């Protein structure tokens, strides 16, 4: 596979390589595959409610004078009172029209977390609790770790969820779990998004779960994370880190991940003038990542490697949400964005390696990894190789691939496997 995402090879060549990479994995084969038999405009930031609607914690109110208003204001040099990771900054009950089917109640809230720079940042998210009577010990929690939705404030899923986000919340509520989902720091809150850093994203998720237990009633200590795309990488990271960083009031049980962006940092670092068009989802993720780094760390000087066209696309990435942006980048000649290979920027390549590298061993909790073949957000053969390496490297890893060309069918297979996995670890 061309490391730049060249899609000029016929689909059959990609499928052949994907099947070969998947050979050692647990595979679900769809009966439909011939010759095979089945074996198995920016909105207000969440939490910044008008007077009379918020129920802030003992920390600062969202209406405080001097509230952050620029990109640097979400970053502070030292933590002040109330800035403990997981501390609630502001909270309000969701109106009924903004809850999803199956939710008895919902909240959107803003809370403190830690960024890639080690400093305090605000993040926002939602909590929804299912209808019915809570089980003994409270509702177990599923943290939904969504993929890239955009880095502009208007793209925050807590205020503008995609159809996929809404469906995931409904699905897990219907299965008897409270659901927490974070927007990730800097999306819908002050500051520049740093979601390209997996550890920072993982901490945002942990801190959202911690904050949710101060907001909601009858929530269990037990929780798991389910992620896709960007969120899948964070979920995998949590299978190593969560027991260490969650604190004594939470009990992390495991992670499920789908659409896993293996070797994503390497792919981005190797972009340059010779790069060809990429699958639309992958191209959107790459441009979001570069745009976020360009804004968060101007000293890395991404602009020195961009054409005028590239700079325009970086600005577009900073302002566009994924649904429209993925359509716009479909077929984009990626090479036209660069004056020289990004691999020449050693600071950038070092950052990408450190921030996006996925572990293959050392997991503290069980992790299920699933991958479909019809996925435009990852380089499928690279992901299948990663799944094989992780399964071989750590007994806590289980992996599933779905050898069907029917994307909807493979998603159903994945959901069934993830549902069973979560039920086992949260029972």
Greatest CA separation for the chain: 68
Q: Which of 310, 330, 356 is the last residue of a domain?
A: 356
Same domain, 340 and 378: no
Q: Which of 327, 356, 385 is the last residue of a domain?
A: 356
Check which CATH number belongs to the domain holding 237 and give it: 3.40.50.1820
Pull the structure tokens for residue 264: 């994503």
Confidence at 26, pLDDT banded by 50, 70, 90: low
The pLDDT, as a whole number, for residue 388 is 97
| Residue 360, SS3 per DSSP | coil
Give the contacts of 391 (CB within 8 A, at least 6 positions apart).
24, 25, 369, 397, 398, 399
Q: What's the domain range around 365?
A: 88-262+358-425
139-145 and 178-182 beta bridge pairing: parallel
Instruction: Specify if 70 maps to a domain.
Output: no
Same domain, 293 and 414: no
Portion of the chain with pLDDT greater than 90, in percent: 77
Instruction: Specify if 369 maps to a domain.
Output: yes
Same domain, 234 and 367: yes
| Residue 330, SS3 per DSSP | coil
Residue 219 forms beta bridges with which residues? 139
Portion of the chain with pLDDT greater than 70, in percent: 81
Q: Which of 330, 356, 382 is the last residue of a domain?
A: 356
Confidence at 275, pLDDT banded by 50, 70, 90: very high
Same domain, 104 and 204: yes
pLDDT in tens, 44-79: 333 333 323 333 333 333 333 333 333 333 334 346
Whether residue 401 contacts residue 23, with contact meaning beta carbons closer than 8 Å, is answered with no
DSSP state of 156: -
Pull the structure tokens for residue 82: 């109330």
The 3-state secondary structure of 185-220 reads: CCCCCCCCCCCCCHHHHHHHHHHHHHHHHHHCCCEE
Report d(CA 2, CA 85) in Å as an integer.
Answer: 41
pLDDT in tens, 123-151: 999 999 999 999 999 999 999 999 999 99
Question: How many C-beta atoms surround the C-beta of residue 163 within 10 A?
Answer: 8
Pull the structure tokens for residue 108: 């959107």
Instruction: Specify if 381 maps to a domain.
Output: yes
How many structural domains are present in the chain? 2
Same domain, 149 and 254: yes
Same domain, 202 and 117: yes
Range of weakest confidence among 187-201, 263-277, 315-329, 388-402: 187-201
Q: How far apart are the first and last CA of the chain?
A: 41
pTM above 0.95, yes or no: no
Question: How many C-beta atoms surround the C-beta of residue 27 within 10 A?
Answer: 16
pLDDT in tens, 350-370: 999 999 999 999 999 999 999
Does the pLDDT value for residue 404 go beyond 90?
Answer: no
Whether residue 116 contacts residue 194, with contact meaning beta carbons closer than 8 Å, is answered with yes
Same domain, 316 and 401: no
Contacts 24+ apart (CB under 8 A), 248-252: 249/210, 249/213, 249/221, 250/206, 250/209, 250/210, 250/213, 250/221, 250/223, 251/221, 251/222, 251/223, 252/223, 252/224, 252/225, 252/365
Nearest alpha carbon to residue 86 among 112, 109, 120, 62: 112
Does the pLDDT value for residue 20 go beyond 90?
Answer: no
Instruction: Specify if 143 maps to a domain.
Output: yes
Instruction: Specify if 207 maps to a domain.
Output: yes
The pLDDT, as a whole number, for residue 81 is 66
Does the pLDDT value for residue 82 go beyond 80?
Answer: no
Report d(CA 157, CA 150) in Å as an integer.
Answer: 9
Sign, CA torsion 300/304/310/315: positive
Same domain, 254 and 106: yes
The pLDDT, as a whole number, for residue 86 is 97
Instruction: Specify if 126 maps to a domain.
Output: yes
CA atoms within 13 A on the CB side of 29: 12
Nearest alpha carbon to residue 122 among 87, 146, 154: 87
The pLDDT, as a whole number, for residue 22 is 45
Average pLDDT estimate for 199-223: 97
Instruction: Specify if 28 maps to a domain.
Output: no
Same domain, 256 and 190: yes
**H and E: helices and strands count for the chain:** 11, 10
The pLDDT, as a whole number, for residue 362 is 97
The pLDDT, as a whole number, for residue 65 is 31
Residue 92 forms beta bridges with which residues? 108
Same domain, 351 and 362: no
Instruction: Specify if 197 maps to a domain.
Output: yes
Same domain, 304 and 253: no
Q: Taking all residues of the chain, what is their mean pLDDT, rounded to a whole number?
A: 85
The pLDDT, as a whole number, for residue 51 is 29
Confidence at 25, pLDDT banded by 50, 70, 90: low
Question: How many C-beta atoms surround the C-beta of residue 39 within 10 A?
Answer: 9
The angle that helices 380-393 and 11-21 make with each other, rounded to 10 degrees, is: 0
Same domain, 288 and 346: yes
């Amino acid at each position: 596979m061309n490391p730049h995402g060249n899609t000029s090879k016929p689909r059959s060549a990609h499928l052949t390589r994907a099947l070969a990479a998947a050979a050692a994995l647990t595979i679900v084969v769809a009966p439909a595959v011939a010759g095979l038999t089945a074996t198995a405009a920016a909105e207000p930031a969440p939490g910044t409610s008008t007077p009379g609607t918020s129920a802030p914690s003992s920390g600062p109110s969202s209406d405080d004078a001097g509230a952050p208003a620029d990109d640097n204001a979400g970053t502070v040099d030292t933590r002040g009172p109330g800035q403990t990771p997981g501390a609630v900054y502001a909270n309000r009950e969701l109106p009924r029209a903004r809850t999803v089917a199956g939710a008895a109640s919902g909240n959107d809230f803003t809370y403190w977390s830690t960024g890639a720079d080690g400093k305090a940042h605000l993040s926002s998210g939602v909590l929804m609790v299912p209808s019915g009577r809570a089980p003994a010990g409270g509702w177990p929690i599923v943290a939904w770790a969504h993929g890239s939705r955009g880095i502009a404030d208007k793209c925050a899923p807590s205020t503008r969820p995609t159809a996929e986000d809404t469906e995931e919340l409904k699905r897990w509520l219907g299965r008897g779990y409270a659901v927490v989902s974070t927007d990730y720091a800097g999306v819908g809150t002050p500051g520049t998004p740093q979601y390209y850093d997996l550890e920072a994203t993982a901490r945002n998720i942990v801190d959202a779960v911690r904050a949710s237990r101060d907001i909601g009633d009858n929530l269990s200590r037990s929780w798991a994370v389910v992620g896709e795309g960007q969120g899948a990488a964070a979920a995998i990271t949590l299978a190593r880190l969560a027991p260490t960083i969650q604190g004594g009031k939470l009990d992390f049980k495991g992670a499920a991940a789908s659409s896993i962006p293996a070797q994503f940092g390497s792919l981005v670092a190797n972009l340059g003038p010779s790069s060809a068009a990429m699958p639309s989802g992958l191209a959107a993720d790459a441009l979001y990542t570069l745009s976020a780094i360009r804004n968060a760390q101007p000293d890395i000087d991404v602009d020195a490697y961009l054409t005028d066209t590239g700079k325009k696309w970086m600005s577009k990435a900073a302002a566009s949400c994924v649904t429209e942006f993925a359509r716009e980048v479909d077929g984009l000649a990626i090479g036209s964005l660069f004056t020289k290979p990004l691999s020449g920027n050693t600071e950038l390549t070092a950052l990408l390696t450190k921030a996006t590298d996925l572990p293959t061993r050392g997991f503290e909790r069980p992790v299920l990894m699933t991958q479909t073949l019809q996925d435009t957000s990852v380089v499928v053969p690279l992901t299948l190789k990663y799944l094989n390496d992780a399964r071989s490297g750590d007994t806590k890893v289980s992996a599933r691939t779905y050898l069907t060309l029917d994307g909807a069918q493979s998603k159903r297979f994945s959901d069934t496997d993830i549902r069973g996995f979560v039920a086992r670890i949260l029972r």
